[in-house]
Amino acid sequence: MNRIEKIRSKFEDYEIDALLLVSPVNRRYASGFHSSDGVALITKDGAYLFVDSRYFEAAEKTAAGFTVELVDNRNSYKLRISEALEKHGCSCVGFEEAYMSCAEYGKYSGEIIKVPMKPASKLINELRRTKDRSEIDNLIAAQRIAERAFDEALGIIRPGMTEREVAAELVYRMLRNGAENISFDPIVVTGEKTSMPHGMPGDRKLQRGDFLTMDFGCIYNGYCSDMTRTVAIGDVSEEMKTVYNIVLEAQLTGIAAARAGVKGREIDAAARKVIEEAGYGEYFGHGFGHGVGLEIHEEPNAGPISETVMEPGAVISAEPGIYLPGRFGVRIEDVLIITENGCENITRAKKELIVI
């Protein structure tokens, strides 16, 4: 069953007979074609991709299963969408309430689409929650690119470099190794700034005795990688080494708990218990992991209140951490593919403490 058919198979559940996709990420999921602008419309017996002249030729070559129609001054989105809905006798259109702005909804509802519109973001989210083989292959390829960048960066990181310089090296090396883009702005922090989980790289210089945390990833064929490694600059204190090993143990324990049929909160609880029993529970403020795919954060979630039951093919990060305000922090992050009997860790980068 292709993705168009998968989407149609959900129409009855949502009481719709068409689905309008305005977000680039969901258009890409459905059609395989990426563009910053455009609209996709899937009906019970038709699939359309409306784009302007910038994308028309490429869309015709890439968007398998879709009728690609040109939008211009004579053939507006309003005209194209209205004609398609009338042609297929559509009576209720699903839309992405999680992506569509109030202004966009106001434009589409009534002005362009004359039939009722119903929220249907969950329809796409449910399908994207599990990955097929091609998606997993792209996730692995993105991960390998990030790992090559990490290995190369380790060869040049030295005391005296700034956080910004390290971040720039990671970005450059991911792009040079085949990434189409970065999946998010890298988090590169050192010294006391490592206690901030999402700290911004600045002009602080790497110094001996500090931790350096690097959280980064790239995009390959639309799919994201995400990894974090905390390394030591020269010799670090025994407490720092102890905290590092607690985080590593927590991550390995959470990974061991990750499998199909388990709730996200149960995976989180397994890792969190290790940190709590070591006396650092109050310093682990975020969840164990989040979904990774076409977006760097998507479903399913593996946080402390997540009731989502993991399915085979789900993809989640594994990233516990301990953050001691004003002193230092540690995070280690891999990406997991959930299977019936456990999970596959697609991250190969070394996790034992690296000393530079």
Domains, in order of start, for the chain? 3-128 (3.40.350.10), 133-345 (3.90.230.10)
Residue 110 has a pLDDT of 78
This prediction has a pTM of: 0.94
The answer to whether the CB of 211 falls within 8 A of the CB of 194 is yes
Across the strands, what pairs with 233?
210
CA angle, 309 then 315 then 318, to 5°: 90
Q: Can you tell me the distance from the alpha carbon of 192 to that of 86, in angstroms, rounded to the nearest whole number?
A: 61
Instruction: Find the Cα–Cα–Cα–Cα dihedral 324, 325, 327, 332, rounded to 10°.
Output: 50
The answer to whether the CB of 337 falls within 8 A of the CB of 260 is no
HSE, CB side, 13 Å, CA atoms: give it for residue 216.
35
Residue 234 has a pLDDT of 93
Residue 111 has a pLDDT of 81
* Closest to 313 (Cα-Cα) out of 335, 337, 345: 337
Q: Can you tell me the distance from the alpha carbon of 292 to that of 317, in angstroms, rounded to the nearest whole number?
A: 7
Strand locations in 44-90 (E): 46-51, 67-70
The answer to whether the CB of 44 falls within 8 A of the CB of 61 is no
Q: Can you tell me the distance from the alpha carbon of 125 to that of 152, in angstroms, rounded to the nearest whole number?
A: 36
Per-residue pLDDT for the chain (356 aa), expressed as one digit of tens each?
699 999 999 999 999 999 999 999 999 999 999 999 999 999 999 999 999 999 999 999 999 999 999 999 999 999 999 999 999 999 999 999 999 999 999 989 878 899 999 999 999 999 999 999 999 999 999 999 999 999 999 999 999 999 999 999 999 999 999 999 999 999 999 999 999 999 999 999 999 999 999 999 999 999 999 999 999 999 899 999 999 999 999 999 999 999 999 999 999 999 999 999 999 999 999 999 999 999 999 999 999 999 999 999 999 999 999 999 999 999 999 999 999 999 999 999 999 999 99
Q: List Cβ neighbours of 134 (8 Å cut-off, separation of 6 or more).
A: none
Say what percent of the chain tops pLDDT 70. Answer: 100
Residue 151 has a pLDDT of 97
Residue 284 has a pLDDT of 98
Residue type (1 letter), 325: P
